[in-house]
Chains A and B, each alone.
Chain A
Amino acid sequence: MTNLRFGLLGLALIVALWLAGRLVTNEYVFFAGYAVAQYILLATAWNLLGGYAGYVNFGTAAFFALGAYVSVAVNKLFEPPLIVLILVGALASGAVGLAMGYLTLKLRGVFFSIATLALAIVAQAVVTNWEFVGGSSGAYLLRPTAGPWGGSYVEYLFYVMLVMAVGAVVLARCIERSKIGFGLAAIRDDELVGEAYGVPTLRLKLLVTVLSGALMGMAGAPLPFYVAYLDPPSAFNLAYAVNTIAMPLIGGASTWVGPVIGAVLLTAVQETAMVTISSAANLMIVGLLMVLFISLAPNGIMGLLRGVRSRA
C-alpha cells in the first residue's frame, strides 16, 4: 500500500469514528477514547526512536509534561486556540529533544537513556519551582463547556487527539518505509557498520529524537483541559514512561502496528483493572506484562504472530 493510500485510509477511519461518535451519548466513551488515542500517540512517538533506532527514552513523562505545562503557561498569557497550544508544545518538547540529543547521542545508547531518566527528574524540579504555572500546588483550568463545533469539549478533545494519533501512525509508517527508516534500522542492528556504509547516523538519530519529542509534547498540550487540574506529581507520573515503553515492546517494536496494538491492549487492560481491582495492582500488571514480554517474546505480539505464520 502506498503512503498516500494509507493516509487516506487513516482519514477514512477518523471520519468513520466521527460518524459513530454522533450516536454516542455517554461522555465516558470520549474520556476513555481520549486515553487510548493519547497512548497510541505516545507509544508511536517513543517507537520512532526506541523501536526503529534502538535508543531507549525513559523521559516520556518529561516531554509529555513539558508540552502540558507550556500549554498551561501560554494559555494563561494569550488564551489562543488549542491548535496553537499544541504547536507550541511540540516546539518546546522538540527543542528539548534536540538539546538532549545533541549532547548525548554521540555516545552509546545506554548513556542517552540514563540522561533521559535524569531529564524527567530535573524537569519536574523546574516545574515545581515555576510559580507562574502553579508550582507545587498545581494549576486549575476552566474547561470550556462546549467544543467549537458543538458537542461537549471532551468530545472535541477526543477528535483532536484522534487526528494527532492517526497522523503520527501515518508518519511512522512513512518513515519506516523510507530511506530514513532503513538508516535507523542500520543504527539499531549495528551502528558502527551503518556508519561505515555511509549512514549519517548522528543526523538521523537527532532527527527522530526531535520528532519523537515534539510528538510527545503535542500529546501533552491538551492534557490540562482534559484533566482540568494539573500538578507536577501527576503530570510527571512514572506510569507514563512505563506505559509508553511497555506498549511498543509488547505489541512489537520494529513496526508501526506494534505500538498501536500495545496501546489499545494495555489501555483496555488498565481501564478494566482500574475498575475491578485497584490502581496499584493495575501498575503491577503493566510492569509484569512488560518484563514477561521482553524476556520471553522480545519481538512482541507481532513477533509471535510472524512466528506462527512462518511455521504454518
Chain B
Amino acid sequence: MVDPLAVLNAVVAGVLLGGFYAAVALGIAIAFGMLDIPNLAHPAFVVVGAFATWLLNSHFGIDPVLAGFLMAPLFFLLGLALYRLYHICFERRGEASLQGLAFFFGVLFITEVGLVLSAGADYRSVSAPYIGASLSFAGMVLPGRMLVPFVVSIAMIGLLHRFLARSFTGRAILAVSQDQTALRLMGVSPIRIKTLAFGLANATASIAGALLIIVEPVEPSIGRDFIGRAFAVVVLGGMGSFYGMLLASLILGITESLVSDMWNPSWAPAIAFGFLLPTLAFRSGGLLGRKL
C-alpha cells in the first residue's frame, strides 16, 4: 500500500526540484525560445557558474547565492561576446542551423574539458547555514538545500518576466522574437537587442550555477544531465513562454521525484525525453506556446 504522506512528500520535493530546473532552463527559454539560438552549451555554463561559486565560497566564505549574483555581470559580458561571435560566423552568413548547432556543441565540449583540465574531475560542494537545515510542516519536510534554490529561482523568473513585460528594452526583446523587420522599422537594431538578450540569458547561468551547487555536489560533466531536461522543458512549455516553461519544469520535477521515490532513481534522467518526444510529435506548440 502506498503511504499518502510519502506521496505528498515526493510531490513537494518534486515542486522544489522543478523550481530549480526552471532556473537552469530560463537561459534556454530566452536564447532558444525567444531568439532562436540553440545554445546547447548553456548547461555547461551553468556548471561553470557552479565552479565559480565554489571558488568564491571555499576561498572567501561568500554565501553561494550572493556569489551567483556577484558573478552574473561577468557572465553577461561573456554572453555578449559569445553572441557577437555566433552572429558574425553563422547568423550573418545564413548558416545558422547546421553549423550553429555544431558550434554550440563544440563550445559545450570545450567548456567541459576545460573545466576538467583546470579544476579536476572531482565533486565540489559549498557550505552555507541553510544547506544542512530543513523546515518541517504538517509532516512534510522541506530541506533548505532545495527550498532556497526554489525561492531564488522563482524570484529570478518573476523579476525577468516583469522586466520583459514592462521596460522598453524588455518589450523590444519580446518583439525581436516575433518580428525582426518590424522592430527595425521602429528604429531599433535587432542585433543589439539580441546581443543584450543573449547576455541576460547567459547571466542567468551564473545564478543557476550557484543554485545547482547548493542542490547537489558538482563535477564538470554534470551539465549534460540538464541539456535534455532544459530543452524538454522549454519545448513542452511552449517556445517563448516563461510561464509555460515554469509549469513544464514543475511537471518534470514532480514526475522525476515520484519515479525516483516510488520506483528507481536511475530512470529519472530518461523522463525528460519521455516528455520531449510526444510533445514534438503531437503538440509542437507545447502547453502554452505558439505552434512551431
Across the interface, which residues of B come within 8 angstroms of A12, CB to CB? none
Selected from B98, B109, B273, the residue in CB contact (under 8 A) with A283 is B109
**Do A58 and B228 have beta carbons less than 8 Å apart?**
no
Q: Is A274 an interface residue when CB atoms closer than 8 A count as contact?
A: no
Q: Mark A268-285, 1 if CB is under 8 A from B, else 0.
A: 000000000000110110
| Chain A interface size, under 10 / 10 to 19 / 20 to 34 / 35 or more | 35 or more
Selected from A54, A125, A287, A295, the residue in CB contact (under 8 A) with B110 is A287
Q: Mark B271-284, 1 if CB is under 8 A from A, else 0.
A: 01110111011001
Residues of chain B in range 219-243 having any CB-CB distance to chain A below 8 Å: 221, 224-225, 227-228, 231-232, 235
Across the interface, which residues of B come within 8 angstroms of A284, CB to CB? 110, 113-114, 117
**Do B110 and A291 have beta carbons less than 8 Å apart?**
yes
**Do B269 and A122 have beta carbons less than 8 Å apart?**
yes
**Do A242 and B109 have beta carbons less than 8 Å apart?**
yes
**Do A245 and B102 have beta carbons less than 8 Å apart?**
yes
Whether A287 touches B228, Cβ cut-off 8 Å, given contacts A108-B292, A298-B93, is no
Interface centre among B98, B110, B269 (most CB of A within 10 A): B98
| A to B contact number (C-beta, < 8 Å) | 131
Bound: A188/B99 CA distance, A: 12
Query: Interface of chain B, helix or strand or loop or mixed?
Result: helix
| Chain B interface size, under 10 / 10 to 19 / 20 to 34 / 35 or more | 35 or more
CB distance from A138 to the nearest CB of B (A): 15
Across the interface, which residues of B come within 8 angstroms of A294, CB to CB? 89, 99, 102-103, 106
Across the interface, which residues of A come within 8 angstroms of B266, CB to CB? 125, 128-129, 136
Q: Is B261 an interface residue when CB atoms closer than 8 A count as contact?
A: no
**Do B270 and A121 have beta carbons less than 8 Å apart?**
yes
Q: A114 — nearest CB in chain B belongs to which residue? A: B231
**Do B110 and A104 have beta carbons less than 8 Å apart?**
no
Across the interface, which residues of B come within 8 angstroms of A249, CB to CB? 99, 102
Q: Is A126 an interface residue when CB atoms closer than 8 A count as contact?
A: yes
Q: Is B97 an interface residue when CB atoms closer than 8 A count as contact?
A: yes
Q: B292 — nearest CB in chain A belongs to which residue? A: A107
**Do B292 and A111 have beta carbons less than 8 Å apart?**
yes
5 additional contacts, CB 8 Å, given A121-B227, A286-B109?
A: A107-B280, A110-B101, A287-B106, A291-B103, A298-B93
A-B contacts, 8 listed (Cβ < 8 Å): A103-B277, A117-B231, A118-B227, A121-B227, A122-B273, A246-B106, A287-B106, A294-B103
Binding site for A on B (CB under 8 A): 38, 40, 85, 89-90, 93, 95, 97-99, 101-103, 105-107, 109-110, 113-114, 116-117, 221, 224-225, 227-228, 231-232, 235, 264, 266-267, 269-270, 272-274, 276-278, 280-281, 284, 292
